[in-house]
Structure formats: structure tokens, C-alpha cells
């Protein structure tokens, strides 16, 4: 079985408060975008010393296989379904890592959905989301995978109407890995009381200066080249531009889907999305 875990962008990202459990309460809108990893699972009864094998291609994945969210998802489900078949899995990695695009979270969530379908586990969406939350705060979003207002740690999801399919998105990843833990450690609690969901309901022309990512201030101070990307996207005519997640990827939303957007750099990974399709440059 093969599936295609997709990336996401954040439309606004407010850090509302610090929680007693050490996490932060957030206010953001998750928006899925058509840019994909490729994940395959194959039942493998010949495995003897392990229940699962993991191989990867594409972008280099750091860390041991056991720490990959796909493997963790399998082991998590296995606890409740001990007769789950042994499998071999392969992940072809396209989505940049440490870039605020949710690629690892998507891989783990899609693994849960694949196992549910392949092995007829009969898990409903809420149960799959509860498993996904054990993998990461934004993993439940990729179970429903629809534009959603996210609060709490990011796991409290309310589907919203938001459609950017008639826009062009230009996504620029400078290849800078921003540590999520470090970014949260230096964050300032948001003073903006307007919900990101309310802002997103307004015309996109009103988002600039109102729909903010609270991580930008800290990340831009440490990596001014990321701020330069945002400034350049506005110079190119973006209606709205923002860093996604805790960085380092920046996206610009453009009105005219019939014009190719050329970002003036050969050093960055650039993805253009229009008409529901993505093109790497």
C-alpha cells in the first residue's frame, strides 16, 4: 500500500499561554498543501528479529529508524493490536525537515491511517487522532487533513472554510533548521486577542499586519536572511506572506495564477503551487 503524506502551512500562529504541563496553548490555522512525501508499507512475514523494518530515500533523515514517527506509529498501534502483521516500510522524503511544514507529523499520521485501512482495524477518526496526538501536537490535523482552526497544543481542531486553490503559493525554504524547542524557549506570549480563525475569514487583502506568526520576531533576529525572503515575496507582489510554523520556510500568496513566480535565488528550495499542483524549482 502506498500513500502520499502532504505538507501544511500555518495561516497565523499565536502563542497564547504557557501550560502547567510545559506545552504552550496555540491559536493557528492549519492549511494542507499539495506537496508530498511517499510512504509504502508491505506485510513481511519473513521478519524474525523485529516487527518492522524502515528504509528511506530522498532527503536525508537524521536519527535512528526507531525514532521515526512512522515506526513509532506502528509500535503504538501494535500495543493495542498485538497480532498486527509484521511490515516493511519505505519513506521517500520530499518535504523539507525542520522547516515548519509538518512533514514528519504527516508521515506519522498517514501511517496510522494506512494501517487502519490495510489491516481493517476499524478505528474511527477520533480514535486515530488520539493515537496521532501521542506522536506530536500537530499530528491529529493530518488525520482529518482539512483547513482547520487549531487551539490547545494544536490538537483541538475546528474545520473552517478557507480555499486558496485559486491563488498561487510560492514556498521558499532556505535550508536552515530551526529547533522547535529552542524557538518555544524564546517566544513572547502573544498580545493579539483576535483569533486567527476570525482573521482568516476576512478578505486575504486584510491579512497583512493582522495575521501574524509570533515566532517570526525571534527567528528573524537570529536569521535575518529568513526575514529577507518574506520582504522579497512582498516586493514580488504577494498579497500575504509569512513564515510557517517555527520556521524556517516562508510562503507568499499571490493573486494571479497565470504568471510564473521566479524567486531570485539558486540557493533555496522553491516550490510553486497553483491549480492544485506543486512544482519544485
Backbone angles phi, psi at 270, to 5 degrees: -125, 130
Q: Is 68 helix (H, G, I), strand (E, B) or coil?
A: coil
**How many whole angstroms separate alpha carbon 246 and alpha carbon 215?**
6
C-alpha closest to that of 148 among 10, 276, 274:
10
**How many whole angstroms separate alpha carbon 6 and alpha carbon 237?**
26
- Asked if 138 is an active-site residue, the reply is yes
**How many whole angstroms separate alpha carbon 37 and alpha carbon 103?**
8
Instruction: Name the residue with cell 483541538.
Output: 156
Question: How many helices (H) and strands (E) would you count in the chain?
Answer: 8, 13
**How many whole angstroms separate alpha carbon 11 and alpha carbon 96?**
18
Please identify which of the residues 113, 138, 230, 274 carries the catalytic annotation. 138
**How many whole angstroms separate alpha carbon 266 and alpha carbon 278?**
18
- Could you tell me the three cell numbers for 209? 499586519
- Asked if 232 is an active-site residue, the reply is no
**How many whole angstroms separate alpha carbon 10 and alpha carbon 147?**
10
The residues that are catalytic are 8, 138
Amino acid at each position: 500500500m502506498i500513500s502520499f503524506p502532504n505538507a501544511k502551512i500555518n495561516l497565523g500562529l499565536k502563542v497564547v499561554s504557557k501550560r502547567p504541563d510545559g506545552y504552550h496553548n496555540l491559536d493557528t490555522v492549519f492549511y494542507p498543501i499539495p506537496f508530498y512525501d511517499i510512504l509504502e508499507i508491505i506485510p513481511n512475514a519473513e521478519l524474525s528479529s523485529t516487527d518492522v523494518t524502515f528504509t528511506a530515500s530522498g532527503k536525508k533523515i537524521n536519527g535512528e529508524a526507531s525514532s521515526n514517527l512512522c515506526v513509532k506509529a506502528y509500535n503504538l498501534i501494535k500495543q493495542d493490536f498485538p497480532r498486527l502483521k509484521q511490515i516493511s516500510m519505505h519513506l521517500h522524503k520530499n518535504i523539507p525537515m525542520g522547516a515548519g511544514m509538518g512533514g514528519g507529523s504527516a508521515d506519522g499520521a498517514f501511517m496510522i491511517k494506512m494501517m487502519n485501512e490495510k489491516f481493517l482495524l476499524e478505528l474511527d477518526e477520533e480514535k486515530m487522532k488520539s493515537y496521532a496526538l501521542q506522536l506530536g501536537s500537530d499530528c491529529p490535523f493530518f488525520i482529518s487533513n482539512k483547513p482547520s482552526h487549531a487551539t490547545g497544543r494544536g490538537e483541538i481542531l475546528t474545520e473552517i472554510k478557507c480555499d486558496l486553490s485559486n491563488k498561487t503559493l510560492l514556498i521558499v525554504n532556505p535550508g536552515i533548521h530551526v529547533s522547535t524547542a529552542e524557538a518555544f524557549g524564546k517566544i513572547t506570549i502573544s498580545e493579539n486577542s483576535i483569533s486567527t480563525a476570525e482573521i482568516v475569514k476576512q478578505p486575504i487583502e486584510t491579512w497583512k499586519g493582522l495575521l501574524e506568526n509570533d515566532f517570526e520576531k525571534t527567528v528573524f533576529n537570529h536569521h535575518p536572511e529568513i526575514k529577507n525572503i518574506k520582504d522579497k515575496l512582498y516586493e514580488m507582489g504577494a498579497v500575504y506572506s509569512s513564515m510557517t510554523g517555527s520556521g524556517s520556510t516562508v510562503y507568499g500568496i499571490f493573486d494571479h495564477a497565470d504568471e510564473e513566480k521566479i524567486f531570485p535565488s539558486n540557493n533555496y528550495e522553491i516550490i510553486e503551487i497553483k491549480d492544485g499542483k506543486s512544482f519544485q524549482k
